[in-house]
């Protein structure tokens, strides 16, 4: 079986700066992969390369056996921000429908088939009961559900989520994760999930892709989240602390130890 995603010795340069170098990962069909790393590690850059939006300086990426961009119809993408829609007068339903014809000008138009697809996506994320409300008045949790419903149109085989837990309280974080996990199990969807905090995802991930220092390592949580592995990636001393079922990553500089945020 062809893997969902193959990344081999990938390097990326932006504005003359090397962002990524020698990133390698193989993601099997149906896997849930958590992607972590500090600011500037290249997480969103890698996603753009997978979508065919940025060129590679070296290496290769294949998505379902094809070059990036060619299989995007099989990819559902939930971007980090929906800020452009904050003041829209469109209903939540229309916001989801609009993504299906993103290459067309004018107001969202949908036939019966598309309407049924939108309704199905809204039901999958538990948003059908507020589908007719203006998107702008929804809570942060509700807006994230609508963004997820957009990504689920056309029943994607690869779901890419860029910081979907940002600005959500713990209750809504858990609700969104459970929803994604349910969809993944029922449809066999591969999930790439960027997050700054590993802890909410500990029970659902198959592997983690940890990015730092221009490179990355893919493996099970207990193999990647170790002081030795992360110290190698960061090229400095890192402590991984396990406490009460949670994982904390901290850097030691002199006598000061500070939490590393993976935003």
CA Rg value for the chain: 19
Arithmetic mean of pLDDT, 100-112: 60
CATH number for 22: 3.40.50.300
**Rounded to whole angstroms, how far apart are CA atoms 137 and 98?**
18
**Rounded to whole angstroms, how far apart are CA atoms 54 and 11?**
11
Integer distance in angstroms from the first to the last C-alpha of the chain?
34
Domain carrying residue 160: 5-259
Arithmetic mean of pLDDT, 86-100: 85
pTM of the predicted model as reported, rounded to 2 decimal places:
0.90
What's the pLDDT band for 88 if we cut at 50, 70, 90?
Answer: confident
What's the pLDDT band for 10 if we cut at 50, 70, 90?
Answer: very high
Q: For residue 112, what pLDDT is reported?
A: 84
**Contact yes or no for 251/260 (Cβ under 8 A):** yes
Arithmetic mean of pLDDT, 7-29: 95
Arithmetic mean of pLDDT, 127-144: 93
What's the pLDDT band for 101 if we cut at 50, 70, 90?
Answer: low
Percent of residues, the chain, with pLDDT higher than 70: 90
**Which of the pair, 227 or 109, is modelled with greater confidence?**
227
Least confident of 51-60, 229-238, 253-262: 253-262
Number of domains in the chain: 1
What's the pLDDT band for 244 if we cut at 50, 70, 90?
Answer: confident
Query: What is the per-residue pLDDT across 205-225, written as a single tens digit (0 to 9) for each?
Result: 999 999 998 999 999 999 999
């Amino acid at each position: 079986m062809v893997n969902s995603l193959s990344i081999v010795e990938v390097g990326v340069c932006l504005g003359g700066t090397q962002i990524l170098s020698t990133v390698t990962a193989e993601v099997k069909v149906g896997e849930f992969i958590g992607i972590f790393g500090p600011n500037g590690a290249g997480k969103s850059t890698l996603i753009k390369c997978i979508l065919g939006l940025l060129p590679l300086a070296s290496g290769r990426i294949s998505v379902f056996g094809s070059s990036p961009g060619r299989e995007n119809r099989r990819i559902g993408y939930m971007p980090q921000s929906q800020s452009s829609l904050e003041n829209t007068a469109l209903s939540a339903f229309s916001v989801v429908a609009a993504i299906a014809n993103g290459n067309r000008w004018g107001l969202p138009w949908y036939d019966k088939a598309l309407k049924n697809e939108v309704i199905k996506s809204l039901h999958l994320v538990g948003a059908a009961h507020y589908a007719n409300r203006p998107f702008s008045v929804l809570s942060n949790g509700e807006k994230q559900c609508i963004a997820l419903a957009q990504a689920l149109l056309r029943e994607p085989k690869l779901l890419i989520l860029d910081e979907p837990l940002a600005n959500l309280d713990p209750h809504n974080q858990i609700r969104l994760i459970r929803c994604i996990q349910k969809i993944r199990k029922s449809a066999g969807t591969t999930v790439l999930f960027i997050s700054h905090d590993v802890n909410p995802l500990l029970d659902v991930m198959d592997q983690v892709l940890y990015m730092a220092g221009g490179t990355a390592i893919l493996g099970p949580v207990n193999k990647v989240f170790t002081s030795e592995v992360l110290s190698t990636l960061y090229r400095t001393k890192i402590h991984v602390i396990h406490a009460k079922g949670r994982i904390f990553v901290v850097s030691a500089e002199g006598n000061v130890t500070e939490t590393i945020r993976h935003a």
